[in-house]
């Protein structure tokens, strides 16, 4: 993909953070946007700030925990724009709790949002991509999609699972001209830690130190779009924390020692 001009791009998790930044970056490139998240008021704000004409933007509230709404949402997009060129699967929730303190109900909710919700929407849009013989999935994973860290057990598991699913999807549908880019951000300055859930399933409501010092979402968005234009299958975005992915591959024992000795309060999603 050389350009996003006139492409129909559906962004989930578009009300804040990386999703919001992608909306602005894509608007500047001339894309036609569908903005989805749970909070309509925030979607309205983002839509206004894109400065796109009304004909080129659709506000479509969506909760990825409610998979029974995916068919109707997809049909709304098709009826509005006639096609979908790119689906950015960016919705998700993080975690701040120890395994021993976390009931299975919390683990299940994290998987429902971060894995089943993402996979469910991808499966709903996939027939459209097959019919078109074109389409692009952009999937927001994380550095912890490769590395499990303290207080992120089910969050890490959900991101690991996305890699397995979308690697398989890519292998099955390459002849349909369907592409997949998996994005692995490190420390990005978003509200993800504020909205993370604890062992009670309640909002964590604290900003992680490394999150506060992280890369600006707008910079992250530029890296993502650059990677997609180059047809990269995966991209790692962040600072020194992304070297942990390479350590996992080549020096796993060393990484294990680093992680277990790391100050848990500074470990970030």
SS3 35: strand
Whole-angstrom distance, CA of residue 263 vs CA of residue 150: 9
Whole-angstrom distance, CA of residue 28 vs CA of residue 87: 18
Q: Out of 115, 146, 155, 204, which one is annotated catalytic?
A: 155
Q: Which of 45, 67, 61, 51 is nearest to 10 (CA)?
A: 61
Pairing of strands 178-185, 135-140: parallel
Whole-angstrom distance, CA of residue 267 vs CA of residue 192: 13
**267, 152 contact by CB (below 8 A):** yes
Give the DSSP letter of residue 262. S
Q: Which of 151, 125, 139, 162 is nearest to 13 (CA)?
A: 139
187 given a catalytic annotation:
no
CB-count burial class (<10 Å; 0-12, 13-18, 19+) for 116:
middle
Whole-angstrom distance, CA of residue 129 vs CA of residue 102: 39
Show which residues are catalytic.
155
């Amino acid at each position: 993909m050389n350009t996003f001009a006139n492409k129909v791009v559906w962004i989930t998790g578009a009300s804040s953070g990386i999703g919001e930044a992608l909306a602005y970056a894509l608007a500047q490139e001339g894309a036609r946007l569908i903005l989805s998240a749970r909070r309509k008021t925030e979607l309205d704000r983002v839509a206004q700030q894109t400065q796109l004409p009304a004909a080129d933007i659709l506000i479509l509230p969506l909760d990825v925990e409610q998979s029974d709404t995916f068919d109707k949402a997809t049909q709304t997009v098709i009826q509005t724009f006639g096609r979908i060129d790119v689906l950015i699967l960016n919705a998700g929730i993080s975690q701040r709790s120890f395994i021993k303190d976390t009931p299975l109900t919390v683990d299940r909710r994290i998987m429902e949002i971060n894995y089943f919700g993402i996979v469910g929407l991808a499966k709903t849009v996939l027939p459209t991509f097959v019919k078109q013989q074109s389409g692009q999935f952009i999937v927001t994973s994380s550095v912890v999609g490769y590395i499990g860290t303290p207080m992120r057990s089910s969050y890490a598991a959900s991101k690991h699972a996305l890699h397995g699913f979308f690697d398989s999807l890519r292998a099955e549908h390459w002849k349909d001209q369907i592409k997949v880019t998996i994005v692995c951000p490190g420390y990005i300055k978003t509200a993800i830690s504020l909205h993370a859930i604890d062992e009670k399933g309640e909002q964590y409501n604290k900003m992680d130190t490394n999150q506060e010092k992280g890369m600006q979402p707008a910079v992250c968005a530029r890296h993502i779009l650059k990677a997609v234009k180059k047809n990269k299958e995966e991209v790692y975005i962040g600072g020194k924390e992304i070297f942990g992915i390479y350590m996992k591959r080549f020096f796993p024992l060393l990484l294990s020692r680093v992680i277990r000795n790391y100050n848990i309060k500074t470990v970030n999603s």
